[in-house]
Each structure stands twice: as structure tokens, then as C-alpha cells.
Amino acid sequence: MMAASPPSPCAAGFPAEGRCGYYVEKKKRFCRMVAAAGKRFCGEHAGAAEEENSRKRILCPLDPKHTVYEDQLAKHLKKCNAREKPKPDFFIQDINAGLKDDTEILEQLVPISSLSEEQLGNLINKLRKASEGLSSTLNDHIMSHPALHDAINDPRNGDSATKHLKQQASILGNIEKLQLLGPRRCFVEFGAGKGKLSHWVDVALKDAEKVHFILVEKVTTRFKVDGKHRKKNSVFERLQIDIQHLCLNKIPVLREGKLPVVGIGKHLCGVATDLALRCLVETYAACYEKRNEEPLAKRIKNDKTENEINTLAKEGSENNVPEKWTPVAGIVIALCCHHRCEWRHYVGKEYFRGLGLGAVEFHYFQRMSSWATCGMRKAPLEDTAITTKSKDHQSDDSEEHDDGEYRITDDSTDNLPGILTVEEKKKIGHLCKLLIDQGRVQYLQHKGFSPALQNYIDPLVSLENVLLTALPIPSSSLQTTG
């Protein structure tokens, strides 16, 4: 018979050798941090030891989740992970934010649940009038791509994994249909999360040359798939930054390599879509349009070293200058969470104003857009409980916000404005989404793009199933139509 192994130190009721002797009551175990030589406790719990009572520990002013010795505070602040770090060159405060007009008005508005039946009825009538002429039924562009065939059919997948793989496959199929899936370009994934959409684009491109991926995500993300990329021809770069402050022109690969950009995103929440559109077509594309208006000699001096000036000037005189390239080759973004939109950042303000609508109507329409998923989730409506300011407006990679976050609990069958049926609320919610998206479409049209909205996945897979695509209109076409 084999002798029983001795119990572990923790199981015997005392800490492991060299570890902190502080017992964490909440976790029902000893602290596992290493204690300094000759000390019983780690630095975090040293205050509990009698020999350490002479040194006071205080909360870190940068991050109160940890403590520090008061007499070492100045030294700690210089190396604390929570300290403000230098901003990168591509950070420009509020460059994609939009104007702050009418924001004071919105702070004084009451929640939808506090509106009278007459006020709610007037809002719904304005919505229906503004939506006249808009088709409430979008074309289906439900597609797939062979790059994801094996992954979708993997028997080990759960329902959630299969759902997201089908969406990624359809987005990839639409990218390919628009002829955006090719070499010598840069894919910028907004709200990248774990980076799965870029990963599948990379898989689909196989051995395409000179492909660069920029993954933009505001928050630190766990379980990223970045480490799976081993291709020599593909370069992945992750930027932890809010889209609101992102200047693509300052990123070296785009400033120096002049790669056409394809903006992509899967479930880009509310305001993040507007920030991404402005980042692409105003901050980035508009910059190159201004540069193209400069005289050739000036552009040469700005872009090239002195050693290259003579060569380029000679090529220009021989009419061998490369033809004008397109800064933004296309946009493919799966829309999401219209209730997280904000008037300040919204790109369709002119469209709303042209319909006689403003910040107040937009505020209520974006709130009512959550009615599109009415009854799909058992959660009471608390219109003031969640605000766009308290939520991260970029994609969280769990992507479990497809069904909306609000619903009306009053399911009466009466047909009054304040007492709507579930189906009526859903129709109103869809109209709100459609109207907000139509403002984005008109914005892209005015910026020289040919945009479209389509259903890219079955609503049984995801209730947030609308894809916004846009391709640049050739300059010759713009001159003809103008």
C-alpha cells in the first residue's frame, strides 16, 4: 500500500514557506504573495504585523485599489501602473468628437417614463413623419466565406461561438463582395476587442502581400487572438485608445506607407460608429485631399527626403507620377446599440435638422431605439439608470449586447401613444434605428461615398443584424454629378 502524501501547508492551516502570513477571510485562505526575507507579511498586509505598525500605509491617490507606505508615496507615484503615461503622436484630444452644441439642453431632459401621453404621442408622430419615404425593409446580404467553414462546423462549438462565427463569416463575405479583400492595404478594426474579425480577414487573405492590421480598442482586453498571427506578409498593431482621440494620419505605417484603409467593425456600439466614420472620412481622408491640392513641389518636400526630390521631379516632368490613390478604400461596419448614440458625436445632424428635428428629438429617438428588441430580454426599463457617459462606447468583445438593454413592461393591447403593444413598440424602435442610420448614410454621401444598409445575418442569430457599407465614388463621377 502506498503511503498517503502529506497535506499541503495551506491545507494544514498555515501559509506556504516564504509566503505572506495574512489570512484573507473573504477567500478563506492565506495570502499567496511573497514576503520579504525575515518578514512575516507581504508589503500589502505588512500593516497587520506589530513590527510594521510604525510605518503607515495609505491608499494610492492614483488607484485606491492598492495601498502604499506613506513615506514612500513620492517614489511610488513615479512608477505606479495607474500613472498617466505620455500620449502617443496619434492621440489628439477630441479630434473626432464633433461640436458641443445643444449638450446643455439634453442634461435637463426627463426620462421617457416621465413623459405624458401627449408628449410621447407627439414624439412618435414626428418620428413617423420624418420616416416617410424610407423603406423599413432592408435587402438581405447574408453571406459566408470558406475561411470560416471549418470553424463554423466544429462540433466543439457552443451556441454563442457559432453565432459569432456566422456573423464574422457574413461580414467577411461582404468585404470580399465589395472587392476590398486584397493585398497592399491596411485594415483598421474599430472596437476590435479580442481582434477576431481581423484574424479571419488575415486567414482569408492567405499569402497576400503588404497587408497591415490596426486594431483599435479603448480598454485592456484579455484572451486576445493577436498571438496567433505568424505570417511574414501581415503586420498587426494594437492601439489602446478611444476612437474619439485617434488621428490615423499620425500612425507611421499610414503616413509613410500610403496604404489604402479599409475600416471594419463588428457590433460597434452606438457613438463609436459615428466616431469611427468621422475618423475615416474627415480626419484621415480629408487630410490627403488637402495635400493633393498642394503644388507637386511642396508635396515632394513634405513627403520625401532631399535625396529623392530630384528623382520625383524628373518623374513628374515625364508624366510618370503614380495615379492618385484612395485614402479610404471602403467601410464595412456591423451596427449596434443605437441607444448609446450621442448628439454631440452624431454625424447625421444636418440630416436631422433638414427634417425639422434637433437634439431633443434625437435624444428620445435613440432611447426609443431600444424598443426594437422589446420583450426579448426580461429587464425593466430604467431610462436613467444607464447613460452613454457611464458606458464604454466601444465594442466589448463579449458581444452579448445584441438584444438591447431596455424594454417597456407595459404590454397593454390598447392603441394609445402611452400604452403601446409590444409589436407597436418594436416597430417604433426599428424606425428610430432606421432614421439614425439614414443620417449616417447621407453623411457618407456628402463626403463622396456610396453607402448602403443591408441585413447581413438572420435576426435569429443576432437582433443587431444591420451592416453599413460604403465605397468611395470616383472623382470623375463626382465632377459629372456635380
Per-residue pLDDT tens over the stretch 405-451: 333 333 333 334 557 888 899 999 999 999 999 999 999 999 999 99
**Which pLDDT score, from 0 to 100, does residue 303 have?**
44
Residue type, 182: G
**Which pLDDT score, from 0 to 100, does residue 111 have?**
87
**Which pLDDT score, from 0 to 100, does residue 5 have?**
42
**Which pLDDT score, from 0 to 100, does residue 290 have?**
56
Parallel, antiparallel, or unpaired: how do β-strands 29-30 and 23-24 relate? Answer: antiparallel
Question: Which is higher by pLDDT, 244 or 297?
Answer: 244
* pLDDT band, residue 377 (cuts 50/70/90): very low
* C-alpha separations of 11 from 16, 28, 34, 39, 45 in Å: 10, 11, 18, 22, 21
**Considering only CA atoms, which of 19, 40, 39, 38 is closest in space to residue 29?**
19
Coil vs helix vs strand at 283: helix
* pLDDT band, residue 387 (cuts 50/70/90): very low
Cα–Cα distance, 248 to 256 (Å, whole number): 12
**Which pLDDT score, from 0 to 100, does residue 374 have?**
67
Coil vs helix vs strand at 232: coil
Q: Which of the residue ranges 47-51, 65-69, 140-144, 218-222 would you say has the lowest mean pLDDT?
A: 47-51
Total-model pTM: 0.75
What percent of the chain is predicted at pLDDT more than 90?
48
Q: For the chain, which domains are there?
A: 23-78 (no CATH), 112-291+326-374+418-472 (3.40.50.150)
| Grid coordinates given for 17 | 514557506
What percent of the chain is predicted at pLDDT more than 70?
75
**Which pLDDT score, from 0 to 100, does residue 316 have?**
37
**Considering only CA atoms, which of 210, 282, 278, 195 is closest in space to residue 240?**
195
Contact assessment for residue 373 and residue 463, using Cβ atoms and an 8 Å cutoff: yes
**Which pLDDT score, from 0 to 100, does residue 312 have?**
35
**347-279-403 Cα angle (round to 5):** 60
| Grid coordinates given for 397 | 468583445
Average pLDDT across the chain, whole number: 79
Which sign, positive or negative, has the C-alpha torsion 433, 436, 440, 445?
positive
**Considering only CA atoms, which of 458, 460, 441 is closest in space to residue 450?**
441
Cα–Cα distance, 67 to 86 (Å, whole number): 24
pLDDT tens figures, 166-210: 999 999 999 999 999 999 999 999 999 999 999 999 999 988 888
Mean pLDDT computed over 349-360: 94
Mean pLDDT computed over 362-389: 63
Question: Which is higher by pLDDT, 228 or 149?
Answer: 149
Residue 295, pLDDT > 80, answer: no
What single DSSP character describes residue 11? Answer: T
**Which pLDDT score, from 0 to 100, does residue 201 have?**
95
* Calculated CA dihedral for residues 341, 343, 345, 348, nearest 10 degrees: 90
Starting at the edge strand found earlier in the chain, the sheet holding 328-336 runs: 139-140, 449-455, 466-472, 328-336, 261-269, 185-190, 211-217, 234-240
* C-alpha separations of 205 from 114, 145, 371 in Å: 52, 11, 39
